[in-house]
Amino acid sequence: MEKIVKEIREKMEGIVKATEHELSTVRTGRASPLLLANIKVDYYGSLMLINQLASVSIPEARLILIQPWDKKANEAICKAILAANLGITPNTDGEVIRIPIPALTEERRHELDKMVKHKAEEHRIGIRNVRRDMNREIDRMNQNKEISEDMSFSLKDEIQKIADEHIKKIDKILLEKEKEIYE
């Protein structure tokens, strides 16, 4: 029983972490280093993440500052940011790259809100699918007399509690992201 519960928790925690990661990359009108986290730069023939080529800081709420360790990387970083099509334009003076984050329009806020709700729902469905699959496995084990009927019911109750707990975590992440979108 403990093995099953542990396995369920691990799978559902993975889904919650995926939700956090996916929603953290959504641009909300605020500067965040996570906005650039997945952008790869072609630097001397190899693809590298921006944070491997430069330090990224947020000196103001709507400004990202990138200081490349090698000044020759400026142009490559700017090209990669533009190619990522994030709706932001980098400005460079040869030393540092400044990326002003424009304020969101009301229409864009609604689009982002709809998108993050959709992504959160996809992850909730993932939690429910894990629960459903495990409940089927428990039913199979019960039919094969590997576990008792009482054990089956108590396992299903425990799995439901774990699923509810993880869905609440996703709801909390969604709520924080929506708050960020409308700030």
Question: Domain coordinates of the chain in residue numbers?
Answer: 2-25+105-181, 33-100
Phi, psi (rounded to 5 degrees) for 43: -125, 110
CA nearest to 16, candidates 157, 164, 158: 164
pLDDT at 159: 94
Average pLDDT of the segment spanning 129-143:
94
* CATH architecture of the domain with residue range 2-25+105-181: Orthogonal Bundle (1.10)
Strands 97-100 and 63-68, how do they pair? antiparallel
Cβ 54 vs Cβ 66: under 8 Å: yes
pLDDT in tens, 37-73: 888 999 888 899 988 889 999 988 888 999 999 888 8
CB pairs under 8 A, 24+ apart, for 32-37?
Answer: 32/58, 32/64, 33/57, 33/58, 33/64, 35/64, 35/86, 35/88, 35/101, 36/64, 36/66, 36/81
* Arch. (CATH architecture) of 33-100: 2-Layer Sandwich (3.30)
What DSSP string describes 147-164? S-HHHHHHHHHHHHHHHH
Tell me how far apart the alpha carbons of residues 106 and 170 are, in angstroms, rounded to a whole number: 25
Residue 94: its pLDDT value, please? 82
The predicted pLDDT at position 166 comes to: 96
pLDDT of residue 38: 82
Q: Per-residue pLDDT for 85 more than 80? A: no
Which pLDDT score, from 0 to 100, does residue 14 have? 95
Cα–Cα distance between 129 and 12 in angstroms, integer?
10
Burial class of 154 by CB neighbour count within 10 A (0 to 12, 13 to 18, 19+)? middle
pLDDT digits (tens, 9 = 90+) for 11-26: 999 999 999 988 887 7
Confidence band of 180 (pLDDT split at 50, 70, 90): confident
